[in-house]
A and B are shown apart, each in its own frame.
Chain A
Amino acid sequence: MKLTKIAVPLITFLPSIAYIPILIEILKGIHFGGLNIILSLITSALNPSLNPIVLKSAWNGLQITVATALLSWTISMFTGLVLGILSSDIFWKGYNKYSFIGKLLKIVLAIPRSIHEVIWGILFIQILGLNIWVAILAIVIPYSALTARVVSEQLDNIDIKPLIALRLTGAKSITSLTAILCPKLIPILSTYGGYRLECSIRSATLLGVFGLGGIGTELYLTLQSLEFREMWSCLWMIFGVMISLESLLNWMRYSSNKEINLKRYYTGIIYTFLLTILISLTWLYFREVDLFTPFNITSIYLPTISEIKQAYLELPLLNLIFSTILITFLASGIAIGTPPLILIYFPGKLSRKIQSIFWIFLRLIPPPLTAIVILFFTSPNISVAALALGITNMGVMGRLLTDSLYNKSKGIYIAMRNTGSNEKSATLYGILSPKTNTYLAYASYRTDVLLRETAIIGAVGGVGLGWQLQESLSSFDWAQVIVITSVFALITISGEFLCDISRKYWLRTTTNNSLTLST
């Protein structure tokens, strides 16, 4: 008897097996001593502080964060687009002599990509001093590299036959490339761009948590002093911004779905870019942010090779690497496995709307804060870090499943319902199954990101490379910092490589071109 391969949609649930070790550890260490703190945390949600001083400074911080996010997003989209085109194989097909530039660029771009924006921020503070441009640079550098990667991958996946056909009619390389590539960039830009904007707001908030100003700072400080009511005022404000952003993006995508007028689209893009840059600069200026302080570039003390070698021997690197990878797997397990489960068990249109709001809420709380909250009812453990990271990223993955745009084609769902099946089965077959491939592709991207994000979980102490990096930074031990950062970069790059291979495997098993469902 032939062994049937396990059906692909089930693989979307399978990662939630990670819940088992996590829950075991957490239940082992659970205690109810922190119950009243958790209770006061939850009750303050409904009773946020309305103190005008608090609200005013939170509102101020929010504007700074959003303006920073807008500015860095615009710049990084633009540079990412350019770099992505330059690093794609298809661009260099016309100039075969120079195709090594594309490949080289791809490899080089892996390095800024592998370092989390918070680390960039902390490093840049050391070099450039306390400056808003530090935050902007810290977001722009990794984001451009990420966008470049997505753009180049999408471009490399398109059908090359029209390009060859065009070349054969005698058109020059650059003309035929423009004709073929430009229309393909539209779906990429619109969906991925919207996603990146939300990510940049989250990153700007996170950078604030680490000291670069904005509402993240407020959030972190109020949590440290356990002023939960004030913390919730900040959280509700961020929540409001995220929901409005989400609806704005949905509205824009919905209204642009009718017909794509290339000319209007491109003029629209150029306007948006320029306008956003100028609006955010003006905004920051009026928020009394010092835009024009000169960079104080001081010489950093560069450690010698022997110091680096010593640092390398000092640090328990193998241990740290192992715990980092463990956290990544556990966190990505719950992040990937939970949204499909919830989608199936709570079917229905209204339930999906509620789910999407729930995912927005989970997304906006920065992982360090979740970690501290979890610490209050269980003892410190790797599982705490994994759970905190997993919860935030669960929100990101859940968005993909409940995004209404991707739910346009409900044909299979209707067909299943018409055979009389209940809502759960129909959702399983009709809504989850067609999205499996995109979901799993996204899941591998997310695991990459999670690996980088382990850098910011420090509250649990002594777990993972990220924690050690913060410790070394606070001791100003540059040799250790260099060693840890390079190790981090190495792991991330190899992790990316592995995820790439697994992604190619998934996309190979179906004929569905991933472009149709766009990333």
Chain B
Amino acid sequence: MKNIPDSCKKCGGPIKWVKSSEYIDCQYCGKRTYLDTEDLAKLKNQIYNTKVLLTSLYLKAKGSSSRFIKSTKFKRNKKLLFITPIASISILSIFFTYKLNNIDLISKKERIINKNEETLFIGAIPDQNPEQLNRLYKVLASELNEQLNVMVKYKPVINYPAAVTAFKTGNLDIVWFGGLTGVQARLQNNGGIVLAQRDIDAEFRSVFIANKKSSINKLNNINDLKSLKGKRFTFGSESSTSGRLMPQYFMNKAGLEITDFKGGTVGFSGSHDATLALVQSGSYDAGALNEQVWESNLKRGRINPSKVYVIWRTPTYYDYHWLAQPDLDKTFGEGFTKKLTTVFLKLNQSSTRQKQILKLFGASKFITSSHENYNEIERIARKIGKIK
């Protein structure tokens, strides 16, 4: 059966159909209307029917829900509807008050000496791929747990001042600090014990890099740093030893002050990877970052040698290390600090978990360290003003 429209779809004017024609042009607006063939009409019919079916189903559902709400059954059970949330709220609040009552809300630095129930809190800010450690910290925690037989909990910290404060307030027991932040932490309240460092940390270096377009040449010695005058320069994070403290120290030694750069200031990119990316892109002419990050980015192929290159390698210094609260032995038992140090020193590629931990910290092994190694860092920091 053919479907014959009697008004033009575009302008609404009437259409006079000529017999046996497949289409007609509207006399008002000129739109061509086609006669529907049987199949097309059937399809349109089907679509229309489905639409009607769905709409009626929807209306039915809507109607039944509203009918339910108006029904007497619901009205009788309305009381239940109000009692349930009240009951659940009261039960939950009782539960929480019970929990809260068992805790002293404010406690001083005195710890309860109860060896087997103490938890060891650790924190770390690695200088590379910190987001991976943020996700995989359980690996470290469970390894220490297994080896030391104490509850180990990892507390995420992502910026240096927060980590230093957490150490000071006793929220963290051992922390993986950089040179500068470790000194800051030790000087805060109680001092701390230096446990271990990576093999590369004994001879850590920074590199100064520059963008090709800045036309800065490779430096021969430290005094050539003066050629950076008037350029746009960026550090890494403000509290980074390898990304800010030591480079600034060497610059000052060469007679270059921060105000000598373009605009009288420097940038702080926040991380070594970011410094690399920013100098490579040309937003900054030059920057300083830690050598290990440079090397690993080189290996990953993220560096375009035609755009960015190293202009100088700094002399060596001590950097990252594990710092522990001085009173761990009191809390966890005699010799605990020594045991902890041994655990780190013994980490090797034997088990998958240990391998993963070493990878997260970018180390091949850990070696011992002592606090004298950081005396120079402390001196420099006081000079620059990072330690008051």
Contacts and interface: CB of A to CB of B under 8 A. Distances in A.
Interface of A: 31, 33-35, 37, 53-54, 56-57, 122, 125-126, 128-131, 210-211, 213, 217-218, 220-227, 230, 271, 274-275, 278, 281-282, 292-298, 372, 375-380, 458-463, 470-471, 473-477
17 contacts: A34-B277, A34-B283, A122-B162, A217-B158, A224-B131, A225-B130, A295-B105, A296-B107, A296-B169, A297-B106, A378-B283, A379-B232, A459-B269, A462-B267, A463-B265, A474-B238, A474-B386
A461 B277 contact: no
B165 A126 contact: yes
A294 B281 contact: no
A217 B156 contact: yes
Contact of B158 (A211, A227, A278, A477): A211
B266 A461 contact: yes
Given A31-B283, A213-B156, A224 B274 contact: yes
B56 interface: no
Given A34-B281, A278-B92, A476 B164 contact: yes
A57 B104 contact: no
B165 A129 contact: yes
Interface in B114-152: 128-131, 134-136
Contacts of B161: 122, 125, 473-474, 476
Nearest to B181: A474
Contact of A375 (B104, B158, B278): B278
Nearest to A297: B106
A460 B235 CA distance: 11
Given A378-B283, A461-B266, 10 more contacts: A122-B161, A129-B169, A129-B171, A130-B172, A218-B134, A222-B131, A225-B271, A372-B270, A459-B270, A476-B161
A218 B277 contact: no
A221 B103 contact: no
Interface of B: 85, 89, 92-93, 96, 99-100, 103-109, 128-131, 134-136, 155-162, 164-166, 168-172, 184, 188-189, 211, 213, 232, 234, 238-239, 263-271, 273-274, 277-278, 280-284, 307, 385-388
Contacts, number: 174
Nearest to A460: B267
A224 B85 contact: no
B238 A275 contact: no
A38 to B, nearest CB: 9
Contacts of B99: 292
Contact of A294 (B106, B158, B165, B387): B106
Nearest to B135: A57
Nearest to A293: B171
A462 B261 CA distance: 12
A37 B268 contact: no
Contacts of A125: 161-162, 165-166
Contacts of B164: 476
A294 B108 CA distance: 9
A96 to B, nearest CB: 40
A274 B88 CA distance: 11
Contact of B169 (A227, A298, A460): A298
Contacts of B130: 221, 224-225
B283 A375 contact: yes
A225 B265 contact: no
Nearest to A53: B135
Given A34-B282, A221-B158, A222-B131, A372 B171 contact: no
Given A33-B211, A462-B266, A372 B274 contact: yes
A296 B171 contact: yes
Nearest to A131: B171
Nearest to A234: B131
Contacts of B92: 278, 282
A227 B131 contact: yes
Given A37-B277, A129-B171, A458-B268, A230 B85 contact: no
A181 B128 CA distance: 57
B103 A294 contact: yes
A274 B298 CA distance: 55
B211 A211 contact: no
